[in-house]
């Protein structure tokens, strides 16, 4: 039974928060419009929640879109089992705080066969624990629409994504044959078994995300802020070394560094950056002068040329 979100009464209409600048306001309006459109047109939507900064913004926008009602669909977290511990703690905190319906799914085959980023390599591991797991979860829930926080500025094949991205019954994306998408009129017509991935943050850039987090005071995983943490250097990346499952290879040394993360995924595949940014202001000014891109710290993007496109065609988000 739907009910008014518990926060409704707590909300302060005399909020002193300054109004959003017109650029962020326009992005917010667009995202809310997309959320409402999908929720109205599809029977079983779900929101992919990966706990990162984009997911945090997505969650915030979903709460705004349906206020004063609750978010009318569940959140789906594809848990590889190798996420940063702080991410899982944060996830559970959000679920509690905002009264969310969370579905967490781990690929049982991967768990049974003990697939790890170390034993199987990043490409196969990602294929099994993320792509295959996502497909399993989407099939199990019979979801006909799945929201994702992907942004077009992230990567070359993402720059080609529609807002409504059509998928075949076996979750395939055909980038050469996407439906035309004009104005903000989205085509949500599908047959049984087919689905749509919807991307409300398509037109946001990394800086927009951070500026919005700051303006809206959106909670994020503390790993985004610089702190002294144990790290080990591997394949040219600084890996967080706090999980006992990370075995040091010959020649590797664990040391303390002041680091933070620009992007969060599975800890063995996500590189930290040296940074002193401890506040949102710091992060934004660091970004504005950054000389490398955000996904530079993602091992899975670099498996091979066209890596992301290939994964996406097979059903990866």
Interaction site with other proteins (CB under 8 A) = 2-5, 11, 13-15, 17, 21-23, 25-26, 28-29, 32-33, 36-37, 39-40, 63-70, 152-153, 155-160, 175-176, 178-185, 187, 189-191, 202-203, 205, 290-293, 296, 305-306, 309-310
Q: How far is the CB of 167 from other proteins (least distance, A)?
A: 13
Nearer to other proteins, 101 or 309 (CB): 309
Q: How far is the CB of 251 from other proteins (least distance, A)?
A: 25
Q: How far is the CB of 191 from other proteins (least distance, A)?
A: 7
Q: Is the peptide bond before 68 cis (omega within 30 degrees of 0)?
A: yes
Helix (H) or strand (E) holding 141: helix 133-141
Residue with tokens 């004009």: 182
Beta bridge partners of 79: none
Q: How far is the CB of 189 from other proteins (least distance, A)?
A: 4
Q: How far is the CB of 295 from other proteins (least distance, A)?
A: 8
Nearer to other proteins, 48 or 190 (CB): 190
Q: How far is the CB of 184 from other proteins (least distance, A)?
A: 7
How far is residue 199's CA from residue 95's CA, in Å, rounded to a whole number?
A: 22
Alpha helices in 147-269 (DSSP H): 206-216
For residue 316, give the nearest of 154, 207, 208, 190 by alpha carbon. Answer: 154
Residue with tokens 């689905």: 195
CA-to-CA dists, residue 219 to 67, 82, 93, angstroms = 18, 22, 10
Q: How far is the CB of 170 from other proteins (least distance, A)?
A: 17
Nearer to other proteins, 181 or 233 (CB): 181
Residue 99 has φ and ψ, to the nearest 5°, of 55, 55
Q: How far is the CB of 80 from other proteins (least distance, A)?
A: 24
Nearer to other proteins, 282 or 301 (CB): 301
How far is residue 184's CA from residue 14's CA, in Å, rounded to a whole number?
A: 32
Nearer to other proteins, 190 or 226 (CB): 190
Nearer to other proteins, 64 or 234 (CB): 64
Residue 65 structure tokens: 């879109």
Which DSSP letter does residue 24 get? Answer: H
For residue 279, give the nearest of 222, 207, 206 by alpha carbon. Answer: 222
Nearer to other proteins, 38 or 241 (CB): 38
Give the number of C-alpha atoms closer than 13 A to the C-alpha of residue 139, restricted to the C-beta side: 12
User: Coil, helix or strand for 183?
Assistant: coil
Nearer to other proteins, 117 or 271 (CB): 271
Whether the Cβ atoms of residue 35 and residue 73 lie closer than 8 Å to each other: no
């Amino acid at each position: 039974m739907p009910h008014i979100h518990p926060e409704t009464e707590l909300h302060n209409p005399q909020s002193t928060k300054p109004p959003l600048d017109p650029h962020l306001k326009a992005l917010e309006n667009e995202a809310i419009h997309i959320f409402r459109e999908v929720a109205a047109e599809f029977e079983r939507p779900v929101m992919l929640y990966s706990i990162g900064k984009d997911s945090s913004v997505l969650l915030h926008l979903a709460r705004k879109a349906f206020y004063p009602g609750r978010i009318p669909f569940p959140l789906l977290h594809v848990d590889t089992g190798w996420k940063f511990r702080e991410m899982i703690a944060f996830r559970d905190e959000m679920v509690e705080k905002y009264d969310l319906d969370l579905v967490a799914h781990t690929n049982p085959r991967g768990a049974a066969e003990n697939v790890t980023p170390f034993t199987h390599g990043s490409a196969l591991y990602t294929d099994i624990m993320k792509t295959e797991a996502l497909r399993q979860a989407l099939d199990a829930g019979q979801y006909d629409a799945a929201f994702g926080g992907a942004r077009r500025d992230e990567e070359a094949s993402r720059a080609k994504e529609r807002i409504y991205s059509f998928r075949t019954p076996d979750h395939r994306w055909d980038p050469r044959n996407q439906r035309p998408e004009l104005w903000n009129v989205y085509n949500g017509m599908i047959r049984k078994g087919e689905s749509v991935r919807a991307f409300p943050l398509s037109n946001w850039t990394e800086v927009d995300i951070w500026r919005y987090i700051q303006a809206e005071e959106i909670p994020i995983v503390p790993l985004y802020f610089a702190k002294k943490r144990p790290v080990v250097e591997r394949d040219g990346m600084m890996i967080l070394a706090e999980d006992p499952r990370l075995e040091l290879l010959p020649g590797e040394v664990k040391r303390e560094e002041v680091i933070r993360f620009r992007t969060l995924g599975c800890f063995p595949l996500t590189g930290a950056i040296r940074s002193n940014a401890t506040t949102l202001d710091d992060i934004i000014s660091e970004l504005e002068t950054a000389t490398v891109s955000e996904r530079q710290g993602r091992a899975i993007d670099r498996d091979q040329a066209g890596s992301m496109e290939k994964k996406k065609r097979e059903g990866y988000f």
